[in-house]
Amino acid sequence: MFAVSRAAHLAPPGARTAPKRTTSTTTTTTTTTTGAGRRVATLALRAGKRAVARAAAADAVDADDGSTKVDVRAWLDAREGRREAVAGVFAIYDVDGVCQYVDYARNVEQAVRAVRGRVGAQRAAWTRVMAFRNAAMATKDVLASEARRWREALGTTPALNAEWDAEDEDDTKSARASVETTEPSKDPVVSPFAANVGADGESKVTEGDGVGSEDADAPKLELTMENVDKALDEVRPYLIADGGNVELMSIENGIVVVRLNGACGSCASSSATMKGGIEKLLKQKFGDAVEEVCNVSGELEEMSVETIEEYLGKLRNSIKSYGGECKVLTLERGVLLLEFKGPQALAFSIAESIKKKFPLVRECKIKQIA
């Protein structure tokens, strides 16, 4: 058996050194790692780590349930080539694992890529994503609520959220200043009822302000389709003048459902039209019989235990993937009672989705089970 002598390492290039025979029963070979060898080893190690990261990210992309923090670059690579745009909530962490940013987006891959491109790999090294693949669950209200819950769970505002919110506020102030010093080319389109809405979004009841102004002690009308449609004739001239109109869809359990048509349906002041005009008018005409006035953009969905269960059936796979179970127990006078098992935030998301789909559900109660 042979061992390479120290002389072999010291010999000039091309020189040969005779092997030294030993009495050892095992062969011991000593090698010297050159600089090039160390670089190869390092690159191989990095490649191995990237492969592991890519594998972990691929698993995370398949799940994207918000429970796993993965390397941003590997997560984006794993999503490369996937055609569908997935909505979701995401968090961005720096190289030390400190949360820098929390937000939601209709296209979460695009949003994560944009954040990393804006702040770089040091501040956007890791990400955690909760995808909402069911379109019915991926409403703006649900996504915003979940993102807010993530921020609250941190106990502090992430650094990038604080920085960018401040920048947005400065931009808004600059825009307002620009508007105030610039002569408008034409009158802005606003709701004719904007002055009747307070800062809290509720309608203001004032005397002698036009639509619906009448004696508060006047006898209230019976809440019927015919009476409500006739009352709406008082606001229709204002809406038609702005290129819109209002259509009465349904009345049930004190909830009046209307549909704003034409320009009113897409107007940024539509909430002012609803609160300061239509809702104020109807509450003056019908009193406490009107609990709420809702606006729907499409056809009104029939509300029953069966139709709500059918709707939940479409959400069931998504609900199950987030660790939840849900079924309808009762529906009485617009109050829906659900039996639910799972995370509280998921229950809130389901309730919001149902109320958006079925405006005649005036309250959604949750019976939590273990």
Structure-model confidence comparison of residues 303 and 43, the more confident one: 303
Q: Where are the beta strands (DSSP E) in the chain?
A: 2-3, 20-21, 65-71, 87-93, 99-105, 126-132, 244-252, 255-262, 292-295, 325-332, 335-341, 363-368
Spans of all domains in the chain = 1-30, 51-165, 194-292, 305-368
Mean pLDDT score, 51-66: 58
Amino acid at 22: T
pLDDT tens for each residue of 324-367: 999 999 998 889 999 999 888 888 888 888 888 888 888 899 99
Distance CA 244, CA 339 (A): 41
Confidence of residue 295 (pLDDT cuts 50, 70, 90): confident
Cβ atoms of 122 and 182 within 8 Å: the answer is: no
pLDDT of residue 65: 83
pLDDT given for residue 50 in this prediction: 55
Average pLDDT over residues 295-304: 78
Band the pLDDT of 48: cuts 50, 70, 90. low
Give the other-Cβ count within 10 Å of 141's Cβ.
Answer: 13
Q: Name the token pair of 273.
A: 């039209």
Question: Following CA atoms 315, 321, 324, 328 in sequence, which dihedral angle do they give, to the nearest 10 degrees?
Answer: 20
For the full predicted model, state whether its pTM sits above 0.75. Answer: no
Taking all residues of the chain, what is their mean pLDDT, rounded to a whole number?
Answer: 75
Average pLDDT over residues 120-138: 86
The dotted CATH code for 194-292 is: 3.30.300.130
Quote the CATH superfamily of domain 305-368. Fe-S cluster assembly (FSCA) (3.30.300.130)
Q: What percent of the chain has pLDDT over 70?
A: 65
Residue range 86-116, pLDDT digits in tens? 888 999 999 999 999 999 988 888 899 999 9
The better pLDDT of the pair 225, 190 is held by 225
* Ramachandran class of 264: left when φ > 0, alpha when ψ lies in -120 to 50, beta otherwise: alpha
Most confident of 176-185, 202-211, 227-236: 227-236
User: Taking 50 as the threshold, does the pLDDT of residue 203 lie above it?
Assistant: no
271 versus 70: which is more confidently predicted? 70
The phi and psi torsions of 48 (rounded to 5 degrees) equal -65, -45
Q: 173 pLDDT exceeds 60?
A: no
pLDDT at 59 over 60: no
